[in-house]
Amino acid sequence: MSEGSALAAAFGVLRRDCLLALRRKSDALAPVFFFVIVASLFPLGIGPDPELLRRIGPGVLWVGALLATMLALARLFAADYEDGTLEQLALSPEPFVLLAAAKVAAHWLVSGLPLIVAAPVLALQYGLPADTIAVLVASLLLGTPVLSLVGAIGAALTLGVRGGGLLVALIVLPLYVPALVFGAGAVDANLAGTGAAAHLSLLGACLVIAGFFAPWAITAALRIALE
């Protein structure tokens, strides 16, 4: 087994999952639609007070992105588990941890990246200035991969369990708190003029830690589910 073949296998899994998600357009677009609806309803319900909208905007956008990311977690491994593909990946000579990481990367590309693209437009509803919108995008770029990695652990732990969707939420929501706090805090700090570098650095540290440990935890949970 060579490094090149392992990377090629991981890229193949990534490409396959992205293509399958694009074929199921309703599933792929559901997180984006949910994010847009949640972010758009708050200004309508709260009213046109610009100061209030600027104050709540970072938290609303981040909570909306967090919940939208969770929508696709229940399906992250379920289809491959049911048709036996996941077992074949586990038996493959290529590192299972790398293949599992590729599946998480595909999840982020399909459900996380579109949220980052939509966020600047939705932020305009809250009257956020351009520099603050840039910080929001940076925080989502660092934070949404953390949400996918941590969420995949919960999805793997509840794979094959009845009512797994609810269990995923119970498992991952407490683990999402640091990313939510640092992500929304970076935008708030920029609005307050105190600088967002510290919050973004902490969010980046969360990404590094999750990127290193989460694939191994996901792989272990998947092997347990397959036994």
Measured between alpha carbons, how far is 182 from 214 in angstroms, rounded to an integer? 19
| Residue 192, pLDDT above cutoff 80 | yes
**Is pLDDT at 197 greater than 70 in this prediction?**
yes
Q: Which is higher by pLDDT, 199 or 48?
A: 199
CA 6 from centroid of its chain's CA atoms: 24
Length of the chain as a residue count: 227
Under the banding of pLDDT at 50, 70 and 90, the label for residue 177 is very high
Whose tokens are 């984006």? That residue is 32
Name the nearest CA neighbour of 146 among 78, 86, 215: 215
Domain boundaries, the chain: 3-226
Confidence of residue 94 (pLDDT cuts 50, 70, 90): confident
Min mean pLDDT across 77-81, 104-108, 119-123, 132-136 is at: 77-81
Q: Say what the pLDDT of residue 160 is.
A: 74
What was the pLDDT predicted at 3?
64
**Cα–Cα distances in angstroms (integers) from residue 87 to residues 80, 160, 227, in the given order:** 8, 13, 10
Task: Report the chain's mean pLDDT, rounded to a whole number.
Answer: 88
pLDDT at 101 over 80: yes
Mean pLDDT of 15-35: 84
This prediction has a pTM of 0.90
pLDDT of residue 26: 73
| pLDDT given at position 79 | 81
pLDDT band at 119 (very low <50, low <70, confident <90, very high): very high
CB 85 within 8 A of CB 91: no
| In the chain, % of residues over pLDDT 70 | 97
Nearest alpha carbon to residue 198 among 123, 135, 115: 135
